[in-house]
Chains A and B, each alone.
Chain A
């Protein structure tokens, strides 16, 4: 399980880097999405969320006999990271869309001239 998670996150980061080095900003946005997913996978793997029982306080009947409680702390981390990742992805794609609209309106890429100074 650990090995599979490690290989998966490695492949996802590789794909993310490949996309983020692309020329088209849409690909870069997809790369950001993949990077967010990869880091969440690493969080799950590093947190060693081993148990199968859900983290429900107070209702002991939910757990079957012999089942271990999953480590709740990394689950909290991953939830937070996923939500933050959604915000970040939304921002990146909003910027990509704004750049799209500006380039279609302006025809010439005036912004990069200032950069070359």
Chain B
């Protein structure tokens, strides 16, 4: 069995096992195992990519172009590794709410992991739609299972917006099929460049609307801050690293590999949307006083940075964008998890209910403080290298507005993080907690923190991987041949 089938089939099958056995410990082990498997397959594929080959497999043995192929080029392998690591961390997290321990929540998480693996590995547009729908259904189920009393409002908004987005995707896929006659990534990428087809551009824009909605771009991001704060910290960390980043992956894949001509045409719109996403996300976060809401809005503004890498569209910008993608997935989820440790101590996620962690919980302080500095882009952490890469690429390409917005957003992110620091860490402990100590941070948070430190101290490693992945995205011939000759 080819290794690329494992990250998709394994969680899919185990979801039913988790549901049938319905034991909390088994479910956790299965999710952690699925995460490790995804990371392992991703690493093997990445090693292949760095050596110059793209592993592929034709599902069911059906040959191209009618069969569905799975292909792992640089971008897909990177996504697999990081999301696998993230899934392991969220499954091993110590503080899970009661609803996060039920058999159905583990089954839904496994389905979510299968759909994420499927989305990043598939080389067929209709198969991508199918995995998107699985993602919507699994995540809507997870949202509905949380115990938060305000959750139904958030779930309905999330579900309706994502269902409309998926319908847009199907519509666009139908139109693309009608115009080009094929839905295989290889055939779409192999079409001659420079031939402008307004019909096809229109169909691609319909598909882009769906991807932008999934990626939580302005003005389609409101489902994110409406629904994420109702989740427990572990699930919120998982969602923030998986859902919108798959949307970003599909944006990069469709505009760089499949339809590079359309990228030139929609470039002005992308620039405006990334500026708007960065600003609305960070300004929304500045107005919140609940840590989950603050972090949810920051997720949106970081998506703006990722779109900036795509909007600049040079090789340097895309490789900086890929570095940023890996960095933000790890840092964002780690912030959710460590924030959960602090919230566990205070008993609530509101800023006004906390205080005194600088004195009483030094390890929590170290972990959260450095992660927050990394998110805000303070040197010498990974966020600084990521943003520096994007800013330098932007200046080289002449995008003054994008660069100015990126810098301003970084400053406003620092403001939000300082607000959390000042309430939860700097000021006095509330009297009710004066005699207790906060819990230990836990292995999963330290693992993610270690990865962030690795990227901060040695960014060249990740940068070279990101650059080779970006090169593979721009030079499509290798991808096309690999998929067309899939066995």
Contacts and interface: CB of A to CB of B under 8 A. Distances in A.
Interface in A31-45: 32, 35-36, 39, 42-43, 45
A95 B170 contact: no
Given A32-B163, A91-B140, A43 B153 contact: no
A68 interface: no
Q: Is the interface of B mostly helix, strand, loop or mixed?
A: helix
Contacts of A84: 130, 133
A92 B140 CA distance: 10
B189 interface: no
Contacts, number: 85
A92 B164 contact: no
Nearest to B127: A80
Contacts of B166: 88
Contacts of A42: 171, 174-175
A20 B160 contact: yes
B152 A45 contact: no
Interface of B: 66, 126, 130, 133, 136-137, 140-141, 144, 149-156, 159-160, 163-164, 166-167, 170-171, 174-175, 177-179, 226, 229, 288, 293
B469 to A, nearest CB: 31
A92 B174 contact: no
B66 A92 contact: no
Contact of A117 (B141, B155, B288): B288
27 contacts: A20-B164, A25-B156, A28-B160, A35-B167, A39-B170, A42-B171, A42-B175, A45-B178, A46-B175, A46-B177, A48-B178, A74-B177, A77-B126, A80-B126, A81-B170, A88-B133, A88-B136, A91-B141, A92-B159, A92-B163, A95-B159, A96-B156, A99-B156, A110-B149, A111-B152, A114-B153, A117-B288
A95 B174 contact: no
A80 B137 CA distance: 15
A20 B229 CA distance: 25
B20 to A, nearest CB: 20
A-B pairs with the 9 shortest C-beta distances? Answer: A46-B178, A111-B153, A43-B174, A46-B174, A111-B150, A39-B170, A114-B150, A42-B174, A84-B133
A77 B174 CA distance: 9
Contacts of A74: 177
Interface of A: 20, 25, 28, 32, 35-36, 39, 42-43, 45-48, 73-74, 77, 80-81, 84, 87-88, 91-92, 95-96, 98-99, 102, 110-112, 114-115, 117
Contacts of B144: 95, 98
B150 A95 contact: no
A28 to B, nearest CB: 7
A115 B152 contact: no
A102 B152 contact: yes
B156 A80 contact: no
Given A25-B156, A91-B159, A115-B153, 8 more contacts: A20-B164, A43-B170, A46-B174, A87-B137, A88-B163, A102-B152, A111-B154, A115-B150
Nearest to B144: A95
B392 to A, nearest CB: 38
B231 to A, nearest CB: 14
A3 to B, nearest CB: 14
A50 to B, nearest CB: 13
A39 B174 contact: yes
B167 A39 contact: yes
B444 to A, nearest CB: 29
B234 to A, nearest CB: 21
Given A91-B159, A98-B144, A73 B66 contact: yes
Contacts of B170: 39, 43, 81
A3 B127 CA distance: 28
Contacts of A47: 174, 177-178
A22 to B, nearest CB: 12
Nearest to B166: A88
Contacts of B229: 114
A45 B177 CA distance: 10
Nearest to B229: A114
B178 A95 contact: no
Contacts of B151: 111
B164 A35 contact: yes
Which of B130, B144, B171 has the largest number of chain A CB atoms within 10 A? Answer: B171
A108 B180 CA distance: 53
Which of B130, B153, B293 has the largest number of chain A CB atoms within 10 A? Answer: B153
A32 B57 CA distance: 36
A95 B159 CA distance: 9
A44 to B, nearest CB: 9
Nearest to A72: B66
Contacts of B171: 39, 42
Contacts of B288: 117
A3 B108 CA distance: 42
Contacts of B149: 110-111
A115 B166 CA distance: 25
A13 to B, nearest CB: 9
Nearest to B149: A110
Nearest to B151: A111
A81 B171 CA distance: 11
A73 B130 CA distance: 15
A63 to B, nearest CB: 21
